[in-house]
Amino acid sequence: MNRLNKTSIFFLVGAVLVFGIVQALISAGIINSFWSTIVLLAGVMAIVSLGLNLIYGFNGQFSLGQYGFYAIGAYTAADITYRWVQLHSASGLTVILMISILVGLAIFLIRGVVSKIRGMDTLSAFALYLAGVLVAIFIATRLGMLIANPVTALFNLMPEKVAQYVVYLIAVLLGGLIAGEVSFLFGLPVLTLGSDYFGIATLGFTIIVKVLLDNSDTMLGFDEMKGARGMIGIPKITTWATVFIFLLITIIVIRNLLNSSYGRAIVSIREDETAATSMGIDVAFYKTITFVIGSFFGGLAGGLYAHINGFLHPNTFSFVKSFDPLIVVVFGGLGSVTGTVGAAFGWALVLEGVLRLILPEGFETWRFVIYPTLLLIMMLLKPNGLFGNYEIPFIRSVVPPLKEKKADEETAKEVA
Amino acid sequence: MAENTNTTPILELRKLCRYFGGLKAVNEVDLVLQPHALNGLIGPNGSGKTTIFNVITGIYEPTGGEVVFEGQSIGGLDPYIINQMGIARTFQNIRLFPNLTVLDNVRIAYHTHAGYSMSDAIMHSKHFDKKENELTEKAQDFLRVFNLQDRQAEIARNLPYGEQRRLEIARALASSPKLLLLDEPAAGMNPKEAITLMELIHFIRDKFDLTILLIEHQMRVVMGICEHITVMDFGQVIARGSAQDVQKDSHVIEAYLGPGAAELSKQYLKERKQ
């Protein structure tokens, strides 16, 4: 169990190579802006799908809500950078930072209280959390506005480009955090449902988010989001390097999580919930934490996505689209990290890239016939997904060799 | 078990009831388990044995009555809390984690004793490496006890039936219980395998200082190793005592063989004596 063993070094070298080659091709102009956008979209799709694979593939909770969290992350991050770039104010940043901190704190404190009260039902607990979170948001908004000006001044000390990039990075992370916190609140009552019912409930969540975004200027009062007309004026600063680093971190985090006792606890719930709870696994807790982590990655990817085109439209997050990451996950193989990344890139490159180019003009829409047909054939031929359970050596969990022991050999014989 | 009667019982069921609508699956059952005893729970199909297991382990809430474990009332607690308090079980229809390796099946039961935090795991810290190694070694030790060490990399569902049964017991033991509930551990085994299994149960009882309560249908096996037997029928206890006491009990004979059977068997025994 060397910390930097051969496979990790091999993986990192490979990753740097992939990054370098693509980066070089982009810089040299061999990959034009059309293709580089597709590569960015593929990377973003890989992160969303990895989050969903954690929830569906590894924890066994069938979720259609991933695009809802993706949307929350996208709009949160976009609003922060929009305010910075267009209004020259860090108010978005400070308010959302405060909200994410205080809401997190409120959830943490209420969790302490709720766990002490024996026999509290889920809905009362949910009401308590909701009340706490609303209070936290109220205080956070006031606090955030209060420190907005000093923080703006602080960022103005930096060179303009650097400040913009720092604000953008924080915005992306906050997008993930807010998505994670929303998923906690939403998951609390809903995760007690069985898997299929949970799927329907999460579909409802995606629709709620879409409707709220359609009316974000009237219902929510965010004029800059412009409701169903689509949000413009977001800086286009997501680069291949940023996407790649976030993707790499996502892969490593998920890999480390899965190859630990916590990962095994998560997977055991998929395998047999009753057996898991009888073996001391707190099923409700691990379902929630997995849902939160998965949604966090969804939100993170949303933040990255918002800054690719500089334009956000609620239709991007409609519930039909919310099947995209699901298709990627199933296509790549449920419970395979390698498969998900591979399928995400394949999905973007083939659907948006190759098919769009090879189909004659006027027939572009046929790609939505060809691609589902491909899916059908695929499901018939390889129902376990492209990669099944395959993982590259870096991600695969290794069964450690049996250590020699003499003391227990007698007992083994005795029993046999 | 006369010498143990003055010690405090490890588990006590007091007038325990569990109804499913109008069906009284378990009706006012009293049961006392002394520490370190090997107890048997028998009865015809549908007499409520597995329901008692499900109530003790928290899968069902009791409709009435109390479950007291080491002086604490545990009725209605979540199963995972009850397991962490020290009650582990196996299932009648084997419930392993089928797509995971044999080693991981045991390591999952060790989860509560992992000793590192989630951030340790994500950051892959040195502490994580150390604790994970310890955990793996402990799990491998358990596999050795059950002679499954060479199977550790195998996927659980590919194991032969007998080994799946053994693995399930190993997994239950890995959660370090004080009380082990075995639901038909010898089901589907031939007599020879069953006897080996019973020796194994005896062995782990002594090695891990456990109290064991087991449900079993193979009478030869139950009568052979259980020190104390409780017989149930229609959700109620109809007899309890040592193997000899229970075998002679007319209620038990009638529950298994039908009304009037007790009379017949008495006659039969008399004739045999003459």
Q: What is the tens place of the pLDDT at every residue in B211-256?
A: 999 998 888 778 888 888 999 988 889 888 888 888 888 888 888 8
Best interface-test mutation with A: which of B54, B141, B142, B144 has the largest number of A CBs within 10 A?
B144
B97–A402 CB contact, under 8 Å: no
CA distance A399 to A1: 11
pLDDT band of residue B79 (cuts 50, 70, 90) is very high
pLDDT, residue B112, reads: 87
Under the banding of pLDDT at 50, 70 and 90, the label for residue A405 is low
Whole-number pLDDT of residue A1: 41
**Average confidence (pLDDT) over A399-403:** 75
- Whether A224 is in a domain gets the answer yes
Q: Quickly count: other Cβ atoms within 10 Å of residue A353's Cβ.
A: 17
Q: Is the pLDDT of residue A224 over 80?
A: yes
- Mean pLDDT on A272-282: 93
Question: How far apart (Å, rounded) are the C-alpha atoms in residues A397 and A385?
Answer: 20
In tens, the pLDDT along A229-242 reads 889 989 999 999 99
Q: pLDDT band at B30, cuts 50/70/90?
A: very high
* pLDDT of residue A32 exceeding 90: no
What digits encode the pLDDT tens for the residues B185-199?
Answer: 888 888 888 888 888
Joined tokens for residue A81: 């950078």
Left if phi > 0, otherwise alpha if psi is -120 to 50, otherwise beta: which for B86?
left
Nearest residue, CB atoms, A280 vs list B91, B136, B175:
B175
Quote the pLDDT of residue A416.
46
| Ramachandran region, residue B94 (left: φ > 0; alpha: ψ -120 to 50; beta: rest) | beta
Q: Which of residues 183-202 of B touch A (CB under 8 A)?
A: 199-200
Two tokens at B90?
């196996």
Query: CA-CA distance, A314 to A305, in Å (whole number)?
Result: 13
Q: Where are the domains of chain B?
A: 2-86+177-273, 101-167
For chain B, the helix, strand and coil percentages under 3-state DSSP, each to the nearest 5: 45, 20, 30
CA distances A36 to A14, A24, A306, A348, Å, are 20, 12, 15, 11
pLDDT band at B6 (very low <50, low <70, confident <90, very high): low
- Can you give the residue range of the structural domain that contains A233? 59-318
pLDDT exceeds 70 at position A4: no
Confidence of residue A389 (pLDDT cuts 50, 70, 90): confident
Decide if A403 and B137 are in contact by the 8 Å CB cutoff. yes
Band the pLDDT of B172: cuts 50, 70, 90. very high
Q: Residue A292 and residue A50: Cα distance in Å, rounded?
A: 13
Which of A27-36, A209-218, B42-51 is predicted with the least confidence, judged by mean pLDDT?
Answer: A27-36
Does A400 fall in a domain? Answer: no
Architecture of domain B2-86+177-273: 3-Layer(aba) Sandwich (3.40)
Torsion angle defined by CA atoms of residues A269, A271, A277 and A281, in that order, rounded to the nearest 10 degrees: -50
- Measured between CA atoms, how close is B37 to chain A, in angstroms? 20
Sign (positive/negative) of CA torsion A217, A222, A228, A232? Answer: positive
Determine the residue among B105, B122, B140 to mutate to test chain A binding: the one whose Cβ has the most chain A Cβ atoms within 10 Å: B122
Q: Does A77 have pLDDT greater than 90?
A: yes
Q: Give mean pLDDT, residues A112-135.
A: 87
Provide the number of structural domains found in chain A.
Answer: 1
Q: Is the pLDDT of residue A406 over 90?
A: no
| A168-182, A330-344, A357-371, B58-72, range with the lowest pLDDT | A357-371
Inform me whether the pLDDT recorded for A399 exceeds 80: no
How does pLDDT run across B116-163, given as a tens digit for each residue?
A: 888 888 888 888 889 998 999 989 988 998 888 898 889 999 999 888
A206 touches A65 (CB < 8 A): yes
- Per-residue burial over A129-143, b if 16 or more Cβ lie within 10 Å, else e, is beebbeebbeebbeb
Q: Above 90 in pLDDT, residue A279?
A: yes
pLDDT band (50, 70, 90) for residue A165: very high
Residues of chain A contacting B50 with CB distance shorter than 8 Å: none
Residue A398 lies in a domain: no
Average predicted confidence (pLDDT) for chain A: 88
Residue pointed to by tokens 């082990």 = B180
pLDDT level of residue A6 (50, 70, 90 thresholds): confident
Q: Quick one: pLDDT at residue A2?
A: 46
Q: Which two tokens stand for residue B85?
A: 């308090």
Interface probe for A, chosen from B102, B111, B157 (most Cβ of A below 10 Å), is B111
pLDDT digits (tens, 9 = 90+) for B86-99: 999 999 899 999 99
| Best residue of A279, A297, A409, A414 to probe chain B, by most B CBs closer than 10 Å | A279
Residue B29 dihedral angles phi and psi, to the nearest 5°: -95, 130
| Alpha helices for A29-121 (secondary structure H) | 33-52, 66-87, 91-116
- Taking CB atoms and an 8 Å cutoff, what residues of chain A touch B54? none
Q: Quick check: B270 contacting A, CB < 8 Å?
A: no
Average pLDDT of the segment spanning A128-152: 92
- How many angstroms away from the CA of A17 is the closest CA of chain B? 24
By C-alpha distance, the chain A residue nearest B109 is A279
- Determine the pLDDT at residue B88: 94
Alpha-carbon distance B124 to nearest alpha carbon in chain A (angstroms): 7
User: Residue B4 — very low, low, confident or very high, per pLDDT cuts 50/70/90?
Assistant: very low
Contact A98, A140 (CB under 8 A): yes
User: Cβ contact (<8 Å) for A415 and B146?
Assistant: yes
ipTM of model: 0.88
Of A119, A268, A277, the CB nearest to B97: A268
Residue A277 and residue B83: Cβ atoms within 8 Å? Answer: yes
State the nearest Cα–Cα gap between B224 and chain A, in angstroms.
18
Residue A323 is encoded by which pair of tokens?
């099947």
Q: Which among A345, A386, A257, A337 has a CA at the least distance from the CA of A11?
A: A337
Residue burial A12-39, b: 16+ Cβ < 10 Å; e: rest: eeebeeebeebbebbeeeebeeebbbbb
- Mention every residue, 6+ apart, whose C-beta is less than 8 A from residue B68: B11, B12, B13, B14, B74
